[in-house]
Structure 1
Amino acid sequence: MATPLSATAVLTALRAEGVRVVEVGNWRTHNRNSKGAWGPVNGSIVHHTVTRGTASTVAMCRTGYASLPGPLCHGVIAKDGRVHVVGWGRTNHAGGGDARVLDQVVAESYGSRPTPPTKGNANGTDGNARFYGWECENLGDGKDPWPAAQYDAIVRVQAALCRAHGWTAKSVIGHLEWSADKIDPRGFSMAHLRADVAERLKHSANWSPGGKDEPTAPAPAKPTTPKPRPYAPPRFPAGLAPGRQSPSARGLQRALKKAGHMSAAIPEADTYGPATQAAVARFHQAHPAYRARGVHYDPAVGPRGWAALHTIAYGGKK
């Protein structure tokens, strides 16, 4: 058993382990301590959120919802590996669980996993008082991936707590190992996670699996801005001519409307009719290349006119 770490102590432990921490609002004093005990702590529970999107997930875990007020955990481990700390103290994350599992975690006496729980939220032991809780951003459907940066952060967070308290990796369990009501986390096994935490605990806090000790986690690569490709107009539909219906004139009409030569109120049609012919003529009269050639009224469009019109309409060039 152990006294819970202070907010300052847990920040120090996490950062020493190379965790990228984001402090959210008044997290140091945001808790449910008025509703029950907080401590002694015996371990740490890993959860998944069944959500998508870091910002909304962090907001939900911080404030909770009508039937379950926040905070719903101590920190949210996001897809990018950042850990958003949202509360410190008692939080609504573990609910009721199996007392036999608690005993095994306290003694760190089980094999590859604790005894499967038979108690749950309605009839179990209060886990909110006895465990740290970490929500991991994931849909929890067994298909949503766990990016390497996120999984590495999960390992580092659990190792930081174990190192600070002098625990082994057996003090880290999944929610499904605590409560008969739960299935989280899905997508990796807790036995595998504990093995990775145990491996990390063999080394110093700033150890990197690449073999070099580093003071912090590797910085993410700077995003690169791809060079925009030049606009390529669609191929001219051979046979498009005034008065014809095949091929359809709809693509021509859309480009004319986009370029401002045809009223949007005119409905699209397959026929290259009088309204389309007049709009093509207006395009020719407005285009410098046609004006230079002395074109005054030309209702027909060919491959070069088609390409010029579409580039003006969709390519951002005039």
Structure 2
Amino acid sequence: MLTPTFSGTEGPRSERVLIVDDVPDNLALLHDALDESGYTVFVATSGEAALARARQAQPDIVLLDAVMPGMDGFELARRLKATPATAGIPLIFMTGLTETEHLVAALEAGGADYVTKPIKPKEVLARMQVHLRAAAQAQGAVQTRRALDAFGYASVTVRLSDGRLMWQTPLARELLQRHFPAEPGGLLPAPVRAWLAQQPLRAQEHLREPPRFQHEQGARRLSFALHPSGLENLDEGDECLLVMREQSDAALIEAMGLNFRLTAREAEVLYWVVKGKINRDIGDILGASPATVKKHLERVFAKLGVETRTSAAAMALNRLRQLHPQWEL
């Protein structure tokens, strides 16, 4: 059996190709052509061996024969696509079966493309380049979104025609569930859909300053911003990228309580007074009656040495800006 070959022309990032075929002549032809082109080549002569080699080598692309004894190429493709570690690898079928039903079966099994036998190495190389580029771009997008998550941002891809979430990072899913627990999981929340529907997506100024939407939930704020890339060319049926970020004033409330020697609940009441909320609204937010809020506020007035809401708010706002100069109402 042929073994992996490392050509002297390949660099440290040489792309890895797994060839799966039970005919030695086919393996040798492709192995030599790919090796000369600088690829790292792995081979397998059966579906079972290919599964093990794919898990071990993590190839960037797989060329697989459709007809093999035992596990054929169709079943191999289905198993590769069903395994998370190999599901994203592009698969190109090599087949002598030219009936439409067989070609459709190859694509339905997870194949990205197919070439017909007898194999023409130049054609295979050209097809590979197309799918390797597409896979690299997709992987780059995933890595970018994961990086956004790592820095406290989250992103979702939304279909403009109906607001359906086509893709979302784990952090985005968590934030949407936290802020919109009653909304259907597969759709962008209704308030955000309504905001998105009002945006003139083709406007050039959006490339300089993306439109934003903000949803408040207690001391937490979840903002949505349209990613500027490609907005000028969007149509109703297209998809767009929304970048989300959650901000919380919980630390500020705690610091305000410590500075003014307030209890946790008194600090919360004062925070919402600064935000311009009346007692009834504060009660709704904190799950308390307006009368209870009034009692907390009276104790706040006494501790701050003031007599009115306006004075308490002004003193607290001044202290908040000292603690956090960037803080805004």
Q: TM-score range by the shorter chain?
A: under 0.3
Q: Tell which structure's C-alpha radius of gyration is larger.
A: 1
TM-score when normalising by structure 1: 0.28
Q: Which has the higher contact order (CA 8 A, sep 6+)?
A: 1
Q: Which has the higher strand share?
A: 2
Q: Which has the higher helix share?
A: 2
